[in-house]
Amino acid sequence: MVIRYIFDILPYFFSYALSHNYKIDNLMDIIMHFNKLQSEKKYGFIAHKEFIKCLTEIIYINPSYFYYITHNALNQMPIIEGILISLNSSSFLVRIEIIKCIQNIYSIKTIPFKWKEMLFKQIEESIDKLIINNESDDKVKIDKKEIITRSTLLMLSAIISTSGTFQCRALLTMLRFSIDKKVDNQIISKPINIMANQIDYSSIIEDNLSYLMTYWFNSKYSSQLFPWNLIQCKSEEEFYKIYSDSLTFIKFQNLELSSTISFCSSIKLSFEQISENIFSTNFIMVIVLY
């Protein structure tokens, strides 16, 4: 109870310090202390949730506090460290609070790109390290898997909905996560649809398809089937019929003629016809540009 009370009032001290131009190193020391306690698992998930809420409020008071570096010998960044420690929490309440915090960070335009970039890389690394057991029948493990899976997708959706700069990368991370962790595409579709409705952007996957597919064809996933049902297509056949020109052009750009022909054959479409479509389209674009 005392810890939660501290988290409730701490933002007011930061606000007061900002208003009166006081130094905040002592306040940051408090956050560092709680970071240490959390890393040692000295307090529970309710207090942890309140801690993240506290950090979010402090960032809102002054976005520069997010990347504030202490003036002690260690040159620590207490708020960033507090967020990073919390990324791997298995508590649903904590992870939801983290999502709110991250959404707030990426929606604030005054936070420099390099700090958002640093946080995004850490998020990517934490996602890559996630261990999700898809084979266990244990109810607790299944529930934990659901919490981690859905909250991870919501976290990425939050970034997509608030930051155009990181939109493609967050979509790509979501795609890799779905394949690496064997996540059902229907589970992925839900946060994508929620996010698309929030930003009134119904074709977000389609508009970023070239970026996603370019990565796909040039990665370890190239031999696997692209998760076409993330796009509003009723069947795999429809997906390839609609996007065959774009997909073939991506492969053609790599100057892999035999691979391109094989790809056309695999989707049962004429290489000659697709090539004609590609070159006629790009020829028109060249004429328009010049």
Model confidence pLDDT, tens digit, residues 149-162: 888 888 998 898 88
pLDDT at 111: 94
pLDDT at 283: 40
Q: In which domain, by residue range, is 81 found?
A: 1-129
Please answer whether residues 244 and 269 qualify as being in contact, where contact means their C-beta atoms are separated by less than 8 angstroms: yes
Please answer whether residues 103 and 158 qualify as being in contact, where contact means their C-beta atoms are separated by less than 8 angstroms: yes
Please state whether 83 falls in left (phi above 0), alpha (psi between -120 and 50) or beta. Answer: alpha
pTM of the full predicted structure?
0.81
**CB contact set of 209 (below 8 Å; sequence gap of 6+):** 231, 243, 246
Average pLDDT on 79-95 reads 90
17 found inside a domain = yes
246 found inside a domain = yes
Instruction: State whether 272 and 162 are in the same domain.
Output: no
Instruction: State whether 135 and 125 are in the same domain.
Output: no
- pLDDT for residue 131 is more than 70: no
Q: How many distinct structural domains can be found in the chain? A: 3
Rg (CA), the chain: 23
Instruction: State whether 216 and 258 are in the same domain.
Output: no
Average pLDDT score, the chain:
81
Q: Which residue has the tokens 């890389």?
A: 121
Q: Which residue has the tokens 């774009």?
A: 246
**CB contact set of 261 (below 8 Å; sequence gap of 6+):** 271
Q: Which two tokens stand for residue 277?
A: 């479509």
248 found inside a domain = yes
Q: Which two tokens stand for residue 211?
A: 């970026």
Identify the top-confidence range among 3-12, 56-65, 217-226: 56-65
Confidence of residue 164 (pLDDT cuts 50, 70, 90): confident
pLDDT at 202: 57
What 3-state class would DSSP assign to 290? coil
Is the sign of the CA dihedral 278, 281, 286, 287 positive or negative? positive
Q: What phi and psi, each to the nearest 5 degrees, are found at residue 147?
A: -60, -50
What 3-state class would DSSP assign to 252? helix
4 found inside a domain = yes
Average pLDDT on 237-259 reads 71
Instruction: State whether 6 and 120 are in the same domain.
Output: yes
Instruction: State whether 1 and 99 are in the same domain.
Output: yes
**CB contact set of 50 (below 8 Å; sequence gap of 6+):** 3, 4, 7, 8
Q: Which two tokens stand for residue 66?
A: 């997010």
Q: Which residue has the tokens 């990368």?
A: 169
Q: Which residue has the tokens 């394949």?
A: 179
